[in-house]
Amino acid sequence: MQTTEQLPPAIQPDHRYEALLKVTGKLKYVAEFTGPFAKKDLLYAFVVQATIPSGTILSMDTHATERAPGVAAVLTPFNAPKLPAVTPQPPATRRLSLLQDKQVFYNGEPIALVVATTLDQARYAASLLKIRYAPTPAKLNFLDRLAEARPPKRGGKAAAEQSRGELSPSLAQATVTVDETYITPIQTHNPMEPHATIAWWNDDKLTVYDTTQYITGDKQSIAKALNLPLDSVHVICPFVGGGFGSKGSMWSHVPLAAMASKLTQKPVKLVLDRPQMFGPVGARPSTVNHIVLSASADGKLQAIQHDEIDHASVMEDFAEHATNPSRILYQSAANRTSLSMVDMNLGVATFMRAPGESPGTAVLEIAMDELAEKLHIDPVQLRLINHADRDPSEDKPWSSKHLKECYTQAADRFGWSKRQAPGTRLEGNDYIGVGMATATYPANRSAAAAIVRVNPDGTAYVASGTQDLGTGMVTLLAQTAARFLGLDIHQITAKCGDSTFPKAPVSGGSQSAASVCPAVEDAAKQAQLKLTQLAINDAQSPLHGISSTDIALRGGKIVQRSNPSVGEPLAALLTRNGNQPIEATGSAEPGEDKTSMSTHSFGAVFAEVAVDKDTHMVKVRRVVATYDIGTLMNEKTGINQMHGGIVWSVGTALHEDTVVDNTTGRIVNSNLAEYHVPINADIGTVDVTVLNIPDTKFNTLGARGIGEIGNTGTAAAIANAIYNATGKRVRSYPITPDKLMSA
C-alpha cells in the first residue's frame, strides 16, 4: 500500500463546506422545510400512539376524528391497506408497526395515523379517537426480572459467549479481586432534528425526503416494506440534523407517510414530536454488568470476566455488546464474556453512538479504577502494566496502536502527578477529585463509491451517496476531491444525500470518512488518468507525448511532474478538447485490513470534578483527552466530533436516564425538560489532542473513523474522579446527587 509521503499535501479548509448556509439559516433540514412543495400543498400526518404496554386493540371509533376540521384521512388497523408480510431490512428482524394487525407491543407504539391540512388539525383530530383495548400482562421492571435472562437470538454463540484461557486456575493465581455489578440506564437519542419524512408519488414512483443516516438502506427498506421494485424509490436527504444511530435504520413512520400519501394522492409530511422520539425510533438498552477482575500483586491481570444482561424489546433483539472492551482492551491470562437478554414491552433498542464501547468502557473502566485502588497501583500504571500489544481476543496484530503515548501525553497535560488520596481535597464547599479511563472504538470500513466531474471551466464536482450528519462528511468530500485534483477547495461543488448517487455505506460505526474518502481519491485519480490521456494525445498541449507517469494535477493546472513549469490550466485543455466535462467514478473497499489485522482507535481521558459537600451536585471542571485515531482528516470538524463525544459523556456520567413507569410502561420523562442532557453550564474546559499518526495499513489516507470514540472512556473518568473527590463509589449511571447521598 502506498505511503502518505506520495500523496498530494492534505488540505485543511478553514471552515465547514456548508458553514455559511448553516449560520445564515439557509440550509434546511427535512423536519423544517416542505421540499419542492408550497406549504399549502402538503398534508400533515400525526402519529397516534398506544396507551397500554401490551394487549390488543378491540375497536377504534373514528367518527369524531373524521369529521374534525381539515382531516383528509384516518388510517387505523381496521382500514389500512394490506401490505405483504415482508421483513424489511436492515435490520432483517425488524417488526414494523404499519397498522397491519391489532396487537400492541409497547406503550407509545404507532397504532394509527391522522392526516390533515395542518399539523394542528391532525393533532387535534387524533385526540378525538376513541380506542378500546384488551390489555395483557406486560413485561416491565427490568432489574426485578434479571433471572429471566436468555441467550440473544442473533449473532450465534460468539455473540453470546467468548472465552480464552482457564478461568479458575487464573483466579486462584490472583491475590486481588474486584467483583462488582455495574448498571447503565436506557439512553434515548435526542438529535436536534427529530425524525421527519416528506413522501409523494408520481404514478408508481415514490420519492421521500427523509432524515436518515443511510439513504441506500432507507431505499431498500422502504421498497421492501411497501413491496415496491427498488428502482421505484428515490430517497433524498441533503443534511441530517443529528442521528447518533437512531437514524441508521428505517422506522415505521416512513412507510406510514408513504401510505398516507398514496391514499390522499397528495404529498404528506410527517415529523415526530419530541415525546414521540422516546420509544418508536430506538434507544440504547439498559445494561447490567457483572465484572470480575483478578490480578496478581504486581498488577498483572490474571482473569477478566464480564457477564452482560441487556433489556430487549419483545419486537426485536438488539444487543449492546458492552463486553467488547473487556475482550480487547487488556492482556490477561484468562478472559470470559457472556451476553443475555431480558424481554420487555418497550420500543426497540438500537445503535446509539459508540454502541458497545460507550457503556462498555463506562463500566469496565470503573472496575479497573477499583482494582488499582485495591492494588495500591496508580490507575495509569495499572493500564500500562496490562497494555495489550496484540488484540488479545483475536490474537492478531493491531494495524497501528499508540495508546501508551496517549496515556503519557494526556497525563502530562492534565497534571495527573498531583493526584491526591480520595476525599482529601476540599476547596471551599467542594470536594475536588481526578480520574482517568481508556477510550476505544473499532475502526470500520465498507465498500463505497463516488463520482468526480472536472468541468471545462476548471472547477469540479464530487458526489457520493453518503450523508452528512453534522459530522463534516461533505467538507471531507470537497477537501479530498480538491487534494487529488490539485484544485482549491472553493473550486469544488460537493454533494451527498441522494440515492441516485454512487452507493456509500451507512453513516454508522465511525466508517464514513474511512470508507468514502478513499473512493473519492480513486475517482479523482481516474479523472486524472483521463485528463492525462487527453493532454498526451493533444498536439497543442504542452504535455503532448510526455510519459503519463510524469503528469500531475497542481494548482488548477495539468503539469509535468518533473518540471511543473511545463503545463497549462485544466480549463485550457478541456475547452480546446470539445468543451465537455471529464467524468469518472471510483470506488474503494476494505482489503487485508479486515482479515489479518485488528483495527481500533484508542485514547486516554482525564477528568477533574468538583462535588458540593452538601448538595452532592457534581461539576466537571476539566476534561483532558488524547486520542490515537490515525490521520486527522480535518482539524475543525474532527476535533469538534471529539468535543461532542466528551460533552455527551458528561451527560452519560451525570444526567441521562430514560425513566420507565413500571406499571404502565410509559416513558415518564419523554421531553428535554426532564430527560437531562448537558448544557453549556455543565461543561468546564475540554482539551483534546490527537497523535495524528497515520494508520497506512488501514487505508491509503491513514485515517480511522472518529465519530464514536469521543463517546467512550469519559463517563468512567468522571465516575472515577467523583470517587477520588468523595471516597464514594457509585456503580450505577447516571451518578446523580441522590445516589451520592446514599452511597
Kindly state the smallest distance separating residue 355's Cβ from ligand MOS, in Å.
5
Residues 18, 521, 656, 708: which is the catalytic one? 708
Return residues touching ligand MOS (CB under 6 A).
Answer: 213, 243-245, 248, 351-353, 355, 508-509
Quick one: 253 or 353, whose CB is closer to ligand MOS?
A: 353
156 CB-near residues (< 8 Å, 6+ apart): none
Quick one: 55 or 217, whose CB is closer to ligand MOS?
A: 217
Quick one: 243 or 486, whose CB is closer to ligand MOS?
A: 243
HEC per residue, 689-712:
EECCCCCCCCCCCCECCCCCHHHC
Give the strands of the sheet with 600-612, arranged side by side: 426-427, 430-442, 600-612, 618-628, 683-690
DSSP assignments along 542-600, one per residue: TTTT--GGGEEEETTEEEETTEEEEEEEHHHHHHHTTT--EEEEEEE---GGGTTSB-E
DSSP assignments along 140-187, one per residue: --GGGGGGG-B--SSSHHHHHEEEES-HHHHHHH-SEEEEEEEEE--B
Kindly state the smallest distance separating residue 353's Cβ from ligand MOS, in Å.
5
Quick one: 45 or 362, whose CB is closer to ligand MOS?
A: 362
At residue 652, φ and ψ (nearest 5 deg) are: -60, -45
Grid coordinates belonging to 335? 478472559
Quick one: 77 or 248, whose CB is closer to ligand MOS?
A: 248
Kindly state the smallest distance separating residue 709's Cβ from ligand MOS, in Å.
12
CA atoms of 209 and 220, how far apart (whole Å):
15
Kindly state the smallest distance separating residue 670's Cβ from ligand MOS, in Å.
21
CA atoms of 382 and 385, how far apart (whole Å):
5
Quick one: 245 or 734, whose CB is closer to ligand MOS?
A: 245
708 is catalytic: yes
Residue with grid cell 474511512, as numbered in its chain: 514
**Residue 348, CA distances (Å) to 54, 98, 182, 317 in order:** 14, 15, 22, 8
Give the strands of the sheet with 563-569, arranged side by side: 551-554, 557-560, 563-569
Quick one: 507 or 720, whose CB is closer to ligand MOS?
A: 507
Give the torsion sign (CA, 225, 227, 229, 235): negative
Kindly state the smallest distance separating residue 352's Cβ from ligand MOS, in Å.
5
Kindly state the smallest distance separating residue 470's Cβ from ligand MOS, in Å.
12
**Nearest CA to 211 among 194, 225, 226, 232?**
194
Quick one: 108 or 442, whose CB is closer to ligand MOS?
A: 442
DSSP assignments along 3-63, one per residue: -GGGSPPP---SS-TTHHHHHTT-S--GGG--TTS-GGG-EEEEEEE-SSSSEEEEEEE-H
**Most distant CA pair in the chain, distance:** 85
Grid coordinates belonging to 187? 439512553
How many Cβ atoms sit within 10 Å of the Cβ of residue 738?
Answer: 9
Kindly state the smallest distance separating residue 247's Cβ from ligand MOS, in Å.
8
Kindly state the smallest distance separating residue 351's Cβ from ligand MOS, in Å.
4
CA atoms of 695 and 703, how far apart (whole Å):
6
Grid coordinates belonging to 650? 458528561
Kindly state the smallest distance separating residue 219's Cβ from ligand MOS, in Å.
18
At residue 113, φ and ψ (nearest 5 deg) are: -140, 130
Quick one: 248 or 456, whose CB is closer to ligand MOS?
A: 248
Query: Known catalytic residues?
Result: 708
